[in-house]
Structure formats: structure tokens, C-alpha cells
Structure 1
Amino acid sequence: MLVDKMANIMRSMFFTFIFAPWVLSASARQHYHGAHSRKDIQLNEDAYLESRFKRDVTTVTDSDYDSDSVFLPADAAEDTAPGTADDLPTCLLCVCLTGSVYCEEVVPDMTSVPALPKETAYLYARYNKIKKITAKDFEDIVTLRRIDLTGNLISEIEDGAFLKLTLLEDLSLAENQLVKLPMLPAKLISFNANHNHLKTKGVKANAFKKLTKIVNLFLAHNELEAVPQIPETVRILHLQNNNISSISDDTFCKGNNTYYIRPNMNEIRLDGNPVNLAQYPNSFTCLKSLPIGRYH
């Protein structure tokens, strides 16, 4: 009996002085490590978010672009009036794929040519509110092959704006407010200036003379009073709905050479002009087909 009582006392002392403190200590260690683990996780998350933020706002350098990958956001354009697209990086407003930038009907309004990735070959910036093309807009983007600025508010293009684009083959300035044309790059294959306010005085006599590869020339729905000098390479010429009232034997042919044939010209549209083509029969003797227009 006495032995059992002594054993119970010993068990109580062991629990009170040895086991209980050990349990409390272990619990405290677990709580401590748990708290520190949660703190470490939070610190790691904070560090991750901070690094993401810094990465997002860091300016992208030229070396960041790779022609075989999707473009990263380009530098933001110069500061302009608040609330315009020019306040934001191009590739946040536009769709940037390898070699191509699509900026169509951008919201908020895009009022100038956006800053482009260096390797841009195709720019589609249609139906925005771009008002002016400056000499600096494309000076560093020598890889451009196609520019489509249809449906903007462009009324002015600075001299030399396109002259450094030695690879440019397709340029559309249709549906703008141009009253004169700039100098155009020599390798153009297709040029579209339909639906502007071009008059003959705004198109230099040699505006197209140096375009030795031009095939498609679209100048319809303007205010031209005469047919400009057309290169031999042109196959399709659209001049409908202008103010052309007369043509000459040298407009399309060579009046002093009755044997001359213009082999490339397949389509000429002069409909919607005040000119009566029947009055100029010698003007078409070199053509494979008659121009489309009024003959009575």
C-alpha cells in the first residue's frame, strides 16, 4: 500500500517538474517556428511583389528585344497632355507580336506615332487621331517594311519622315487630311493616299519619279487637277473622283513616238473626273486597255 502511494507521488512529480515543462517548451518552439515561417513567407511574397513592380517599371533597353521572341513593352512616348495614349508604353496599348505592332482604334486617344520596338517591320496604326508625322517618328526603325496609318487626322508630314526607311515597301496614308505629299522612299511597291485633300500643287512633279519599283498607286478621292508623272512600273493607277479636266499625249504615252507601248499598265481609273476622255484619243495609243472614265 505504501509502495503504491509512493509510486503515485513520483509520477506526479515527474509530470509536474519534467514532462509539463517539456511540453510547454515544445509548444513554444512550434509556435515560434510557425510564426517565423509565416513571417518568412510574407517577407518572400513582399520581396516578389517588389521585384515584379521594379521589373514592370524598369525601362526596356535595346538589348531586351529579341527578333525571335514576343516584344516586351517599349519605352513610353514623350510626355504630352494627360489622359492620352502617349502617356503609356506602346505595348500596353497595342498588340505587339514578333515584328508587328497593331495599334488600331486605341483608347485613350492616340494622337502621335507611338514609340516602336527597334525590330518593328509592320506597323498598323489605323483609325486613331494622329495629327502629324515628324522626322523623328521613324528615324530609328529602319526595319520597317509596311506602315498603315489609314483613318487618322494627319495634315502634316515633315520632310524626310520616311526617307531613312530604305526597306519600306507599303505605305498607306489613306483617309487623312493631307494637302501635300512628302518625299517617298525609293523602294515603295504600293502607295495609298486615297481620300485626302491633295491638289496638284501639293504633289511635286517628281514625287513618284524615283519610285522605280512602284506597282500600285492610289490617289483617288482627292482634289488633283492633273495626272502626276507616273513611273513605268505602275500597273494599277487609281485617280477616280478628283478634279482632272484634261490630259495630254504625254500623260501616259510618248506623243513623239507612235511605236511606244506601255507594257505594265493594266488598270487606270479616271471615272468621277470632269475630263471627257473621248477628246484625247492619242493619249491612250500605248496602253493595252482604255482608262475607266467618261467618254461622252
Structure 2
Amino acid sequence: MKAFLFTCMLVPWLMVLAASTQRFSGESQLIPGSLSSKELSRYFTDYLKSRRVRKALPPGDEPDDSPIPEGPDASDLPTCLLCVCLTGSVYCEEVSPDMTAVPTLPKETAYLYARFNKIKKISSKDFAEIVTLKRIDLTGNLISEIEDGAFSKLTMLEELSLADNRLVKLPMLPAKLKSFNVNHNLLKTKGVKANIFKKMTKLVNLFMADNQLQAVPYIPDSVRILHIQNNNITVVNKDTFCGSNDTYYLRMSLSEVRMDGNPVVLSKYPDSFVCMKVLPVGRYR
């Protein structure tokens, strides 16, 4: 008898509990943010795939659904929405929509990687307030102009890469640079001041290959690796590496010099390399 009464009391309660549970379960699907991490991951993966498919289709072959409005220009979006911002580092590589200017950087940025974009110009304001920068890599852009003073306040900058751009001349560079890469540009001798590197006493790596230089600029004693191959250099003077007025001068730090791919025949200028512990790589006959 007791068991029968207990069952009669328990069944209605269980039915109410089940109904409440079902109601809560049904409503939870409508609550924003209720998706599991796996469901969110699948949602964003599908979204990105659809964006890639639309971008890859040629004009006229878009899917027959509602039109997609044009996305905002990169300059209209916050930097850390377009790029990956970590503590002290900003990564803006192959940004879509196209990045055509240096982005506004968070203060205290030390490392900027903005490679393979469509940046066309570096203005004097781009880095004026980011004096903490130690490395800037702008490889693979469309940079053809750098305003005077663009790097003047970067007293901590040690590495600068402007490779694979469209530069015809160089601006003044920070004195504490240790590595400078300007390979694959359009530089001519008139666009590179003869003593542009003279005060850069900490410069170790200097890369100026694949340009249109007719002469070797002044090379600081601190330089260890010099790449100046594939230019239009026709003459090497005694002052280029050794200094004509000091017969006892030795350039011991310079351990690698590439001059291959230039018209100059290096064997015609034997006195130009007597101070060096290695001969330049290049044409000797």
C-alpha cells in the first residue's frame, strides 16, 4: 500500500520535471553564445570556406543567392582585427581586404611583420609614436616612396627589411641598425647617398642584391656579410673596401662578399681586396 501511494506521488512530479527540462532544452538553442566550441568551430570554418569560394570564382560565376556587400577597406578596420596582435608583436601578412598603408600600431609594439601586402608609401607619421620598434619587415609590398624622417625616431630599431619593393632611393636610416635588407628593388647609385651607411657602426648584415647600382657605397667596418650581386657595378676602387691611404689596414670582420652577376671583372682590381681575408664571389675573367 505504501509503495502504491509513493508511486502515485512520484509520477506527476517526474512528468513536471521532464516537461521543464524539455522546455529549457528547447529554449537553450535560442540563447546567443550557447553553441558548443565544436559547433562554433564548424560554423566559422564553413563561413571562411564560403568566403574563399566566392573570392576564387571568376566574374559572372558567383553563386545564385543573395548578393554579398563589399567588405570595408583595410584602413577602416582596427589593426588587431585585421592582424594578429601578440604582446609586443603585430603580424599583418597577406591581409584581406588589401592593406595599402602601414597600419596604426598598438603602443609598445616591438616587432612588425607586414609582408606581402600592397603598401605603397611610408610616411613620416607611420612610426612617429612607436619608438619601441626593434624590427620592421615590409618585404613584398609595393613601396616606391619613403618620406624623409620616416625612421628618424626609431632609435631602438635593429632590423629593417624593405626587400621586394619598388624603391628608387633610400631615406636616412637609423644608426643602430644591425641588419638591412633592400634586395630586389629599383635602386640606382644616385638614389643611395655615398655615405648613407657611414654612421651605422653596428651594421652586420647588408643586403642590396638585384638592384641597378653602378657602384659600391661606403661599407662600415662592422659589416660581416655583404650581398651586392646582380647589379650594374663596373668598377671597384681601392677605397671601396680597403682604403688607399692605409697600407696596414685589415678588414677582418668582412667574411662574405657576393658580387657575382655584375659586369665588373674583379681580377682587374687586385689592390682593392688586399685588406680582406676573403675574396669577393664574382667574375674574375
Judge same fold: TM > 0.5, yes or no: yes
- Name the residue aligned to 1:237: 226
Please give the TM-score of this superposition, normalised by the length of structure 2.
0.75
- 1:164 aligned partner, one-letter code: K
User: How many Å separate the matches in 1 of 2:99 and 2:242?
Assistant: 44
1:221-232, aligned counterparts within 5 Å?
A: 221-232=210-221
Match of 1:158 among 137, 147, 154: 147
Question: What is the CA-CA distance between 1:259 and the residue it aligns to?
Answer: 1.4
Q: Tell me whether 1:207 sits opposite 2:196 in the alignment.
A: yes
Give the unaligned 5+ runs of structure 1. Answer: 1-37, 39-44, 49-81
Q: Tell me whether 1:286 sits opposite 2:278 in the alignment.
A: no
- Name the residue aligned to 1:260: 249
User: How many Å separate the matches in 2 of 1:99 and 1:239?
Assistant: 33
User: How many Å separate the matches in 2 of 1:178 and 1:127?
Assistant: 15
Q: Tell me whether 1:185 sits opposite 2:174 in the alignment.
A: yes
User: How many Å separate the matches in 2 of 1:236 and 1:84?
Assistant: 40
Q: Helix, strand or coil for the counterpart of 1:123?
A: strand
Match of 1:271 among 247, 255, 260: 260
Question: What is the CA-CA distance between 1:258 and the residue it aligns to?
Answer: 1.8
Question: What is the CA-CA distance between 1:146 and the residue it aligns to?
Answer: 0.1
- 1:272 aligned partner, one-letter code: G
| Kept in 2: contact 1:130–1:152 (CA 8 A) | yes
User: How many Å separate the matches in 1 of 2:201 and 2:245?
Assistant: 23
How many residue pairs get aligned? The number is: 223
Q: Which of structure 1's runs of 4+ aligned residues deviate more than 4 A?
A: none
Question: What is the CA-CA distance between 1:256 and the residue it aligns to?
Answer: 2.2
User: How many Å separate the matches in 2 of 1:279 and 1:126?
Assistant: 41
- Name the residue aligned to 1:16: none
For 1:57-94, what per-residue CA distance to the aligned partner results, in whole angstroms no more than 9, with x for missing partners?
A: xxxxxxxxxxxxxxxxxxxxxxxxx8421110000110
For 1:140-190, what per-residue CA distance to the aligned partner results, in whole angstroms no more than 9, with x for missing partners?
A: 001000000000000000000001000000000000000000000011000
| Kept in 2: contact 1:84–1:111 (CA 8 A) | no
For 1:4-59, what per-residue CA distance to the aligned partner results, in whole angstroms no more than 9, with x for missing partners?
A: xxxxxxxxxxxxxxxxxxxxxxxxxxxxxxxxxx9xxxxxx99x9xxxxxxxxxxx
User: How many Å separate the matches in 1 of 2:102 and 2:196?
Assistant: 24
User: How many Å separate the matches in 2 of 1:128 and 1:276?
Assistant: 38
User: How many Å separate the matches in 2 of 1:195 and 1:252?
Assistant: 23
1:9-20, aligned counterparts within 5 Å?
A: none
- Name the residue aligned to 1:122: 111
User: How many Å separate the matches in 2 of 1:256 and 1:93?
Assistant: 55
Q: Helix, strand or coil for the counterpart of 1:147?
A: strand
For 1:175-221, what per-residue CA distance to the aligned partner results, in whole angstroms no more than 9, with x for missing partners?
A: 00000000000110000000000000000112111111000000000
- 1:188 aligned partner, one-letter code: L
Please give the TM-score of this superposition, normalised by the length of structure 1.
0.73
- 1:178 aligned partner, one-letter code: L
| Kept in 2: contact 1:191–1:217 (CA 8 A) | yes
- 1:244 aligned partner, one-letter code: I
Question: What is the CA-CA distance between 1:105 and the residue it aligns to?
Answer: 0.2
Match of 1:109 among 91, 98, 121: 98
- Name the residue aligned to 2:12: none
User: How many Å separate the matches in 2 of 1:128 and 1:101?
Assistant: 14
- 2:167 aligned partner, one-letter code: L
User: How many Å separate the matches in 1 of 2:100 and 2:72?
Assistant: 11
Q: Helix, strand or coil for the counterpart of 1:250?
A: helix
Q: Tell me whether 1:246 sits opposite 2:274 in the alignment.
A: no
